[in-house]
Structure 1
Amino acid sequence: MNIPNSVTSIEWAFAGCSSLTSINIPDAVTTINGAFKGCGSLTSVNIPDLVTSIGTSTFSGCRSLTSIDIPDSVTSIGMWAFQGCSSLTSINIPDLVTSIGYGAFEDCNSLISVKIPNLVASIRELAFSGCSSLTSVNIPSSVASIGWATFDGCSNLTSVNIPDLVTSIGESAFRGCSSLISIKIPDSVTSIGESAFSGCSGLTSINIPTSVTSIESFAFSGCSSLTSIKIPDLVTSIGASAFSGCSSFTSIDIPNSVTSIGMWAFQGCSSLMSVNIPDSVTNIGDSAFEYCSSLKSVNIPASVTSISNYVFNRSGLTSIIIPASVTTIGLKSFFTNSPLTIICKGSVPPKVDGIFYAYKVIVPKGSKSAYKQADGWKDCDSIVEE
């Protein structure tokens, strides 16, 4: 199809023209917005040199496009501009581009590599989400934020640099990047978002800078090749499932700054043999160490007053010391894979949700009678005094 030379702007004129295979856009056109959305048979298109922005959904769903040349005049790429261009293998983003919109290249699953220009300050949410063939990406030093799910599902991405200006890594930013082996997070980063590296099963090492104050829920869940990690001294809480499924972890050192360990935080860390829980911790969430089948012993600090449900359920614990500060113990907290010895430091039996069966319990001198009469404790096989 030929468009007359008098046309200067094309809005949604050809959206949904699924049989359109080629089109000539005249040189006078300066604005393209939503024009070719859903043109699934379009194999080639020219963008004139006067165009400064590629608008919302302009080429969204053009699944037959294999390449496209964006002129140097373009300064912005709008949201969903190339979303679902599943045959697009390469694209040049001109040097003058300052913004890449929400979902701009989402599900371009044949795109192998991309160079982001030096003037781009932020990469918006979902910008390259689902680009499963993308192997590398260069993020320029100008970028200060990496948005939500920016590279989510880029399963062939093996390397990525995070610039020194970045202060936060957004929610699900690199989720499912299963080929990513290592990544360096700059000292400028203060927060790692929810699910930021979740499912990065090939990740063997990662540095978390000392500037980070929070590790959100699911941040590193499913990073099954990660063998160790250092949690910075400024972190005050470890989010729910933050490290769940990190099955290659052998040990973890939790700094004194941490006051709360979220539910499922280390669930399924099946190689974890030792963990240090500092005196600063006051709360350990449900199932925090559930299915840690190699965990043989653990210290519960005197700062903890309640042991939540399933905390050490199906762990490898053989002994545990319960401080006198603990007043309640949740359901199946110590339902372990091995015979367990529980050493209670309190003369008053903690309230138990459930029943302890084949456990040996060691209690303070003079308190055996109290434990023998207490619900949950009285059914234990053996209660002896120190």
Structure 2
Amino acid sequence: MKRLLLLILITYVILVSGCGEIIKQDDANDQNNDYNSLTTTKNYDNGSNEYESVYFQDDDIISMKYKGQFIFQDVYEKEVRINMEILENLNEGRIYQLYLSPLQGVPVERLSIGYFYESGDTIYKINPTEANLNMIKSSGNIPEDSVIVCQNAEIQDTLGEDERGWHQYIEVNGDEIEYHSYNNLVETGYYESFTWKKGVGLVFYQTGYGAERASIRLKLISNVKTNQTDTANQAINNPNKTLSLSPETDSKNEDRENLCTDNEELLFSFMLANSPKTLSVCISKTQPDYIVYRLGKKDKVELEFPENKANSWSEFSYSYYLRGGGAGNEGMDLNYLTFENGGYEYQIYQEYTAKDNMTNVGIRITEKATNEESEIKGLSNSIEGSLINLRDNKKIKTEIL
């Protein structure tokens, strides 16, 4: 009876953990509909009794660099970053999400590694619902559908190695703790593994299906100390922030001319369709702190906004909409950067749809007096950076659509 209950519990957790849409099978379901309910949460308690993490001991580390291998429609290796978004810092623990930035060819719902509650030396992977979040916040109780993915004590697999079913177990090797789970009911069963190290964090992660289909494999290279505003600028040195399909695509992007100066970091840039012009959004590296929009060519910038960069962040607004579930749920990731100038509203857009597995970019210009709209489309294969990096930036007004 205990074994049956455990199998039911494990099966439920796997079903809501976000399986990909590329492989369609009985155990690959859409992520829980409450996926977005936590991704938009930014505020947490920073009181004097703030929890001190056993695994992530430096609170400034919110981005970690990994060597990644991705097997989807294409097979390639590249360096990527896992980002940590702290949702709640409580007296007895911390709730956070770990996620990858968008990668073209990887389903949107596979970008989220999961939501976790860490308390003491134990880490639980939690089902991301408001009810579960509120339970932990209000009482410190662990939701019944949570799974222990890290603790000091080993957990033995309740099934034999060759026995059919959902397997899960924990192995402890000094400061490193390994969690493994897999389904061998079918040949293409889902699997997931975490390796945690005290004082370091997540050092290894892999997920996918049997026969290495639709798989992700990540090995830690280094922790990166950042702050919330720095996170928005990491696309420049991080190929993962560029929506690209292969390392070859990245090398081409490096040769393109964006309109940022030596004293600025690139946030987002693309070339216009049927035009030699480029649109770039840049952020200053040093003081004074500013964000600026430019359109034109390297030797001739036709429009720069704002001219006076003082208080430039207040001149822009950022909005976005995120829906998981892959192509089957018409998943999408829509991002918009908007400003007004000379009686016109300018809306830079970056729109990804899982159904088409495409990212469209461009700028829509609306005359305020007449409400007439025109659109200038960009070349998707020329994208550098991402507007998504503004989600963690506290300086800009942000709206969730």
In which range does the TM-score fall when normalised by the shorter chain? under 0.3
Q: TM-score, normalised by structure 1?
A: 0.24
Structure number with higher helix proportion:
2
Q: TM-score, normalised by structure 2?
A: 0.24
Structure with higher Rg: it is 1
Higher relative contact order (CA 8 A, sep 6+): 2
